[in-house]
Structure 1
Amino acid sequence: MHRAAFATRDPAEGVAVLDRVFAVREVRRSPDEPFRMELSSAGTGPLRHERLRLGGSSAAGSTDGSGVLRVGHVLGGQLTATGRGDRFARRGPFLFPRRPFSSRWAELDLMTVSLQPAAVQAHARRLLGDEDFRLEFTGDRPVDPTMARYWTATVRHLGRDVLPHEELMRAPLVRAETVRCLVTALLQTFPGSFLERSRERTGGPAAPPSAVRRALAYIEAHLDEDIGLAEIAAAARMSPRGLQVAFRRELGTTPTHRLRDARLDAAHRALLDADPGTTVETVMVRWGFVHRGRFAAAYRERHGCNPAATLRA
């Protein structure tokens, strides 16, 4: 788990941090104007969630964006691209260019989510069942307003409900699900080769019931491990998309929803068998759930009572 905070009014210190964290170089600003910088960062594995505030005089700089996939959201102030062909959204999320670019900012309040490209491509390959797939993003804005809201809500949940909580982030399932959730949201939100491939029609024969049985057995045997759609599909010897179609046809659900339900059942058993002093939060986090209210709602829907009532039974 990574967590850091930094604040300075020293331009030299601030410029050095901009270089180290965001690869911003050749910063140009008036030496006689004030400077303020606040930066907070938290993350796990290939994921970073950052909040940057830059105040004082306006400034400009050049950035090498080739080493990271970074999505920005301007919360206040101004951030303007100055290179030919580059535009940053004034409202809503946008992908920074994955190449050198120039920009200008003033009284900036910027939230970013950064992901390592290798981790994103590896996840895309697992989801598609294609080890040779090459990920490329072809646009810097979300595919539609619905997906823009989806991304924004996902990032808000990450920054407010997940990353600030040490107990949650100590749980391996929570850390793994956090990264998987953000990477999947990125792939689904911004136009590129992943969306183009995933929208292709699924061909081939229908999945035999044995494949679904293999998937169900794998879910039950690996509930407490870092698994998702790609791992379940590999155990079923099917493509992820094919397995989703098979689950909807045979069971009326999806592999990931079945995994969630199985973990809710495991949490139910753990609450029933809990030792004195065990809390709902401890069990919830153990099985990969991060939001108390959402866990309680899903638990009630599946088991007909509140988790706290089960714990007291």
Structure 2
Amino acid sequence: MANPAAVPLAAHALFHTHDLDEARERVASVFCPHRLDRIGKGAFDACHHHLRGERLSLNYIAYGTKTLIAPGELRDFYLVQVPLSGAAAIRNGADTYVSDPARAAVLNPHHATTMIWDEDCRQVLLQIDRQALNAHLAGLIAGRPDRPLTFTGSFDLTSQRGAALKALLLYLVSEADAGRPVLRPGSLLGRQIESTLMTGLLEAHRHNFSDALSHSRGPAPLPRMVRQAEEYILAHVDQPIAIEDVAQAVGVSARTLQLAFRRFRDTTPMAFLRDARLDRADADLRAALPGSSVTEIATRWGFGHFGRFAGIYRARFGCTPRQTLQDALADRFVS
């Protein structure tokens, strides 16, 4: 065992043991039940250090000998494993690769995992609550993920973004080792750092939502749910619909839909519906036949209060609906 003072997160030690069963039980209390077998010839010398945040935790684990670890599905959390030394063979679902100080492992919780850690493998691990990471992703893409977030392959820590995330992770470890832990429940700064770590991971490593998170210099792509909502509204513009109907049609909550429209359209779904109805009413006023009335046309497009309709019509088109109707009829008469 290395000098305890030189081991990361030493002030946050959970255990140090030579007993395989104790190590398995103590690690499981933080992560999940798993198979843990010594398959190397060296002495089993395990330790686990753990610093808990609000939505994630920092960990340091070493076993001192070649070890087989098979947790199956992690279920409730994603696990980023950054070797400080040594290497580990990883199988997570269909993915198989080797993790070392240049390549981290990101374990998907919905895929079964089996690992073999080499004798000299020492790792810093970032455990991220699954629901928290999915909620963070939803905020970045302005929509609830429609499938499990799935990372692919080893995580390149030599890339610009990968190196930046590793540097931030190790900085947080060094601050904790200096007696200044940033991550802790209830800390506003800690929560901001957690969000930065989650954003950094989502930006730096490949996954099935990478395209939606593309950070080109051009305008952000319009989320699919906004396009679907607009299509639904336009297809039902002549029917009585509420925001709950639109949200249900595209498979998100009303709140999520409102936030997406605010971010990408600078409006709301119901304001979009109102404007669509105004456009239809304006078209009908301009195509009206003799005997048509503003009230009739307004009612046709869902405007039951004539005074309010006249006000929002004028704000949008610069004249009253009655003026539009009169001008249209006069032009038709002259023609």
TM-score, normalisation: structure 2: 0.54
Question: Are residues 1:96 and 2:120 paired?
Answer: no
Check conservation: 1:60, 1:102, Cα contact below 8 A.
yes
Residue 197 of structure 1, aligned match among 212, 230, 233: 212
1:10 aligns with 2:16: no
Q: Quote the Cα distance in structure 2 between the aligned partners of 1:79 and 1:20.
A: 22
After superposition, residues 164-243 of structure 1 pair within 5 angstroms as: 164-165=179-180, 169=184, 172-199=187-214, 202=220, 238-239=262-263
Do the aligned residues in 2 keep the contact of 1:158 with 1:178 (CA within 8 Å)? no
How far off its partner does 1:141 sit? 3.1
Cα deviations by residue, 1:39-89 (Å, 9 ceiling, x for unpaired): 11102112110000111x423131224321111111123322368741132
Query: Where does residue 60 of structure 2 map in the other structure?
Result: 51
- Equivalent residue, structure 2, for 1:296: none
Q: Which amino acid aligns with 1:102?
A: T
- Which digits, 9 at most, give the CA deviation of each residue in 1:201-250, with x for residues without a partner? 5367xxxxxxxxxxxxxxxxxxxxxxxxxx9xx889632x789xxxxxxx
Aligned to 1:146: 160
In structure 1, runs of 5+ residues without a counterpart are: 205-230, 244-313
* Equivalent AA in structure 1 for residue 167 of structure 2: A
d(CA) in 2 for partners of 1:203 and 1:82?
34
Q: Distance in 2 between matches of 1:236 and 1:78?
A: 43
Q: Is the 8 A contact 1:135 1:194 kept in 2?
A: no
For residue 188 of structure 2, what is the amino acid of its counterpart? L
Distance 2:79 2:41 in 1: 32
8 A contact 2:87–2:98 mirrored in 1:
no
* Cα shift readout 1:251-292 (whole Å, capped 9, x = no counterpart): xxxxxxxxxxxxxxxxxxxxxxxxxxxxxxxxxxxxxxxxxx
Looking at structure 2, the residues matched to 77 and 30 of structure 1 have their Cα atoms a distance apart, in angstroms, of 16
Q: Judge conservation of contact 1:94–1:141 (CA < 8 Å) in 2.
A: yes
Distance between the aligned counterparts of 2:176 and 2:105, measured in 1?
Answer: 22
CA distance in 2, matches of 1:92, 1:161: 23
Q: Give, in whole Å, the separation in 2 of the partners of 1:52 and 1:115.
A: 16
Counterpart residue number, 1:111: 124
RMSD: 3.5
**What is the aligned counterpart of 1:129 among 119, 142, 154?**
142
- How many aligned positions are there? 212
* Alpha-carbon distance, 1:125 to partner: 1.0
Partner of 2:70: 62
The alpha-carbon distance between structure 1 residues 237 and 33, as it changes in their structure 2 partners (threshold 3 A), is closer
TM-score normalised to structure 1 length: 0.57
Q: CA deviation at 1:187?
A: 1.1
Identity of aligned residues (%): 14
1:21–1:86 CA distance, 2 compared to 1 (3 A) = farther
Which structure has the larger Rg over C-alpha atoms? 2
Distance 1:124-1:133 versus aligned 2 partners, 3 A rule: farther
User: What is the aligned partner in structure 2 of residue 86 from structure 1?
Assistant: 96
Residues in 2 aligned to 1:97 and 1:121: alpha-carbon distance in whole angstroms? 12
> What is the aligned partner in structure 2 of residue 248 from structure 1?
none
Q: 1:127 to 1:78 in 2, by over 3 A?
A: closer
Equivalent residues of 1:135, 1:192 under 8 A apart:
no
Q: 1:159 aligns with which of 173, 198, 205?
A: 173
Q: Residues 32 and 196 (structure 1 numbering): CA distance in 2 closer, same or farther, change over 3 Å?
A: closer
